[in-house]
A and B are shown apart, each in its own frame.
Chain A
Amino acid sequence: MKMRKPKRRLFSLTLRQQNTLAGYLFSLPFILGFLFVFLYPTILSAVFSFNELVITKTGYELKYVGLENYRHVFRVHPTFIRDLTETTINMLSQAFWILVFSFFAAIILNQNFRGRLIARAVLFLPIVMASGIILKIEARDYMTGILEYGMESVSAFLVTPALSVYLSKFQLPDALITNILAAIESLPNIIRSSGIQILVLLAGLQAIPRSLYEASEVEGATGWENFWLITLPMVSPLILTNIVYTIVDYFTSTSNLIVSNIRAAAFGTLGYGIGSAMSWVYFGVIGGILVITFVIFSRLVFYHE
């Protein structure tokens, strides 16, 4: 792509065509990667899910088995469907609390107070720490288990009963109370998985033009009204971003039950075919949930242009 001599080039390529060509050239790394490193293996995995894969000396051979792998996943596998339901339900409740917490934390971190820098540094620490090998090791660690248990049991024995008595006074539905109590018990987990979400919302809060608040102050609006009429609508696109990020992060985390199921199947005795079938069922569920969230929330999102 040379545009050094625009006069001569203009005869052969219009400005629009030049633009398109340059755009594609810049995007070339991703186009190649998408086709060969992402799409091609993904299609292969769809093919695998209808086949039995046998490793030979020169590569691998496929034996067509139709829907047999999917039948195995749904009918024969002892825990897959149960694990899938459990993971999905956990995800929904955890995602909800992560969103609430990260919103609250971002608003607090956006205020002016002494020690704000330290508080921010600490809250973003999990982004640096809680990934990869550390998560894997903590999941099976003896000591962490005991200490976490100690922490959870404090809330289980002290906070939870008192709170459940208190909550029951409000005549809330039982399911909601159970959900709130479960959230309190997994609070450490929720806080530690909120780093990126807080960062995104905090950046959004800081991007709201000051002039909006100044104008509303002239009109005599209260802080409460400001929150509902300015802050919330202005960060609503980011709330959608956060919802999607949270769902994806939960579903693709390696400590997740289904992910370990898939790995056990693919690299264990069940074989690649069944592993692929499991991944596709799993992807179907994720995709479905994402589409539903998008349809519901994109109506509520406000875009300030």
Chain B
Amino acid sequence: MGVMEHRLHWKRSLFRYGWSLARAVILIGVCYIVIFPVLSKLASSFMSRSDLWDTTVAWIPRHPTLRNYELAWNYMNYPTAFWNSVKLAVLVSALQLASSTLVGYGIARFHFKGAKVLFTLAIITLVVPPELFIIPLYLNFRYFDFLGLLPVQLNFINTVWPAVITAATCTGPRNGLFIYIMRQYFKGMPRDLEEAAYVDGAGAFRTFSKIMLPAAVPAMVTVFLFAFVWQWNDYYMTQMFYSSATTLPMMLDKLPNSVLGMRWEASLPETSLLNNTGSLLLIAPLVILYVFLQRFFVESVQRTGITGQ
């Protein structure tokens, strides 16, 4: 008996060590693949032009330089663009958070016929490619008269209004996902909380703001972070409705052209150096934010009931 147990134990621990080793190898490989583009950007951002033609230089530049950073910083007008990005991202994500919290609460905690329909519609907005309605939407914002109710046609293009309107009405890109997250979270909260408040004579809105809202902070943080990151990196919507905005993605898109002028398309390697450096400057604030918040980020997503349970 003793020998058998010993052997079984030995076999098990061998299996466990083997699995730990395999897991470590797999994880290191996968992490390498994820970090690879960041490392390659980092390496090339310090390269000078001569390093590009030097075949012995793969990762570590022979003539390291800060010139790329200098160029990118100056031509992206970094401090101004950074501040504009912060303002726009905070505005848009705060509005998205407010609207999707209200709507998520509405369809999760009140039993009415439309609730299921509204939830389905929110998912549909998530599934429809924006190309389907972006052109008519553009025309609506270009000749904005609120369905003919306004006496004059306003031109909202190149103002902040399209971003504000879509964010406040849950129709920005991937807003459906935010409604989904908030709805799932509110669904999972115990009924007694609300009922106690109703018994005490609090109205629907007071119950919401005093009881339910403080308890929903983890989900709200998740929504805000997602919204902030997507707006921070957004190029598509900004370029469509607000192409004069000087946010970081817009400046980054123009960077090779503004440094190299018309010949940027002909000088791919230099363009690449600038693009890589500019991308790093764009994501640096996010990565710093992420390093500090990632624990909170991951944990809050786990507590939000994004899981549908």
Contact = CB atoms under 8 A, between A and B. Distances in A.
Most chain B CB atoms below 10 A, which of A34, A121, A143, A187:
A143
B40 A1 contact: no
B125 interface: yes
Interface of B: 20, 23-24, 26-27, 30-31, 33-38, 40, 44, 99, 102-103, 105-107, 109-115, 118, 121-122, 125-137, 139-140, 143, 147, 153, 165-166, 168-171, 179, 201, 203-205, 208, 229-230, 232-236, 249, 252-253, 268-269, 271-273, 275-276, 278-279, 282-283, 286-287, 290-291, 294-295, 297-298, 301-302, 304-309
Contacts of A93: none
A304 B129 contact: no
Contact of A40 (B109, B127, B140): B140
B13 to A, nearest CB: 15
A286 B112 CA distance: 30
B131 A33 contact: no
Contact of A2 (B165, B203, B297, B304): B203
Q: Which 6 A-B pairs have the closest CB atoms?
A: A33-B169, A26-B106, A23-B110, A132-B233, A44-B136, A41-B136
B3 to A, nearest CB: 23
A119 interface: yes
Report, as a range, how many residues of chain A touch the other chain. Answer: 35 or more
Contact of B114 (A2, A27, A132, A142): A27
Contacts of A286: 127, 129
A290 B204 contact: no
B131 A263 contact: yes
Nearest to B142: A59
Most chain A CB atoms below 10 A, which of B113, B125, B171, B273:
B171
30 contacts: A19-B112, A23-B114, A28-B106, A34-B170, A37-B171, A45-B136, A48-B135, A48-B136, A59-B143, A105-B30, A113-B24, A120-B294, A120-B298, A121-B298, A124-B297, A131-B229, A133-B253, A137-B275, A137-B279, A144-B40, A188-B33, A192-B34, A200-B307, A203-B306, A204-B309, A207-B309, A244-B127, A248-B127, A251-B129, A278-B131
Nearest to A101: B30
Given A23-B107, A141-B276, A128 B290 contact: yes
Given A40-B136, A128-B287, 10 more contacts: A26-B208, A122-B31, A131-B233, A132-B232, A132-B236, A143-B44, A203-B302, A204-B307, A276-B135, A279-B132
Interface string A229-263: 00000000110010010001001101000010011
A207 B29 CA distance: 28
A45 B128 CA distance: 13
